[in-house]
């Protein structure tokens, strides 16, 4: 803070620590932090009660800081759903995985097969890798539905959370959200 460099603090929230969020944000602001990213934990199930509580807390804090004209930016990751983010991870054995697949192997042991892009030495340039988030989401859901029901529902729940999270911040930022629902979004609305 004393260096005046731009930085942000990422707060990862789980359903069981939602009650600490307000106090944690207030503490960071009191210490001079001005950029706070709120992230929902991946690999945990978010039920409707936890989602509603989390979103109400975010809306309350976002609105209060904007109304009081505090120079505090409460933001989110712009690559939702985060569980299918656009980053690639190079594994120690040179295998390329979707960005979140590696840290989530503990929760989703079967996801490695669904989210592999081959080996790094298969490519002469990363520009050769053609990504399509929609297809990747569909592929991972189809694969997990055949492998493990628990993994499938947890992965689908985390994708659902990402879609809702992006919609919340679009509304808070007054970004129009009048778009036609994609098939997978409609599926999540029916499932959850």
Which parts of the chain have pLDDT scores under 50? Answer: 175-181, 183-192
Q: What is the pLDDT of residue 49?
A: 95
Q: Which residue, 78, 121, 85, is CA-closest to 102?
A: 85
Quick one: pLDDT at residue 125? 84
- The confidence score (pLDDT) of residue 48 equals 93
pLDDT for the residue 177? 47
What pLDDT is attached to residue 104? 84
Segment 94-112, tens digit of pLDDT: 898 877 777 788 888 888 8
Give the Å distances, CA to CA, from 86 to 79, 130, 192. Answer: 7, 11, 25
Q: State residue 184's pLDDT score.
A: 47
Predicted local confidence at residue 23, as pLDDT: 93
Q: Look at residue 53 in the predicted model and tell me its pLDDT.
A: 95
């Amino acid at each position: 803070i004393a260096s005046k460099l731009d930085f942000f603090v990422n707060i990862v929230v789980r359903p069981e620590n939602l009650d600490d969020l307000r106090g944690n944000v207030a503490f960071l602001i009191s210490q001079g932090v001005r950029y706070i990213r709120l992230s929902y934990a991946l690999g945990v199930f978010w039920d409707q009660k936890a989602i509603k509580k989390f979103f109400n807390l975010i809306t309350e804090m976002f609105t209060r800081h904007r109304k009081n004209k505090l120079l505090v930016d409460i933001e989110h990751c712009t690559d939702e759903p985060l569980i299918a983010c656009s980053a690639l991870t190079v594994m120690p054995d040179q295998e390329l995985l979707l960005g979140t697949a590696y840290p989530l192997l503990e929760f989703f042991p079967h996801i490695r097969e669904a989210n592999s892009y081959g080996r790094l030495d298969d490519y002469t340039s990363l520009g050769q890798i053609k990504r399509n988030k929609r297809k990747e989401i569909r592929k991972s859901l189809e694969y997990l539905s055949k492998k493990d029901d628990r993994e499938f529902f947890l992965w689908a729940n985390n994708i659902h959370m990402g879609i809702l999270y992006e919609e919340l911040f679009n509304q808070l930022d007054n970004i129009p959200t009048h778009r036609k629902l994609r098939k997978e979004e409609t599926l999540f609305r029916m499932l959850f």
